[in-house]
Amino acid sequence: MKVAVWDTYVTKKDGSTMHFDIIAPEEVEDATVIYGYGKAYLKSKGQEGQNLTARECSFCHIETIKPHWEAQIKQNGYFIFEMENCN
């Protein structure tokens, strides 16, 4: 399975920047759907209401799915790869 990687930088409520990737099946091309995944993730991190638009989130590349992403993608439709300030 191929997945699309959407590079995302969101300003947190404390002013710091969260950096994470939203990873979804490559067939999901609607940015609104991708932003919805990101907003659900932000809500789970206590960052509900922070901006998540084309300015914060953009398509980066297509790659082969990693085995540890697959279960969550099958269950939720996406996987979040946390990189910086995601706590």
Q: Where are the domains of the chain?
A: 2-84
Please choose, from the candidates 62, 44, 48, the residue with its C-alpha nearest in 3D space to the C-alpha of residue 6. 62
Distance CA 74, CA 87 (A): 24
- pLDDT band, residue 10 (cuts 50/70/90): very high
Domain 2-84 maps to which CATH number in 3.40.50.150, 3.40.50.720, 3.10.510.10, 3.40.640.10? 3.10.510.10
Contacts of 9 (CB under 8 A, 6+ apart): 17, 18, 19, 56, 57
Distance CA 33, CA 15 (A): 26
**pLDDT tens across 47-84, in order?**
999 999 999 999 999 999 999 999 999 999 999 999 99
pTM for this prediction: 0.95
Confidence bin at 36 (pLDDT 50/70/90):
very high
Predicted local distance difference test score (pLDDT) of residue 52: 97
In percent, how much of the chain has pLDDT > 90? 98
pLDDT value, residue 33: 97
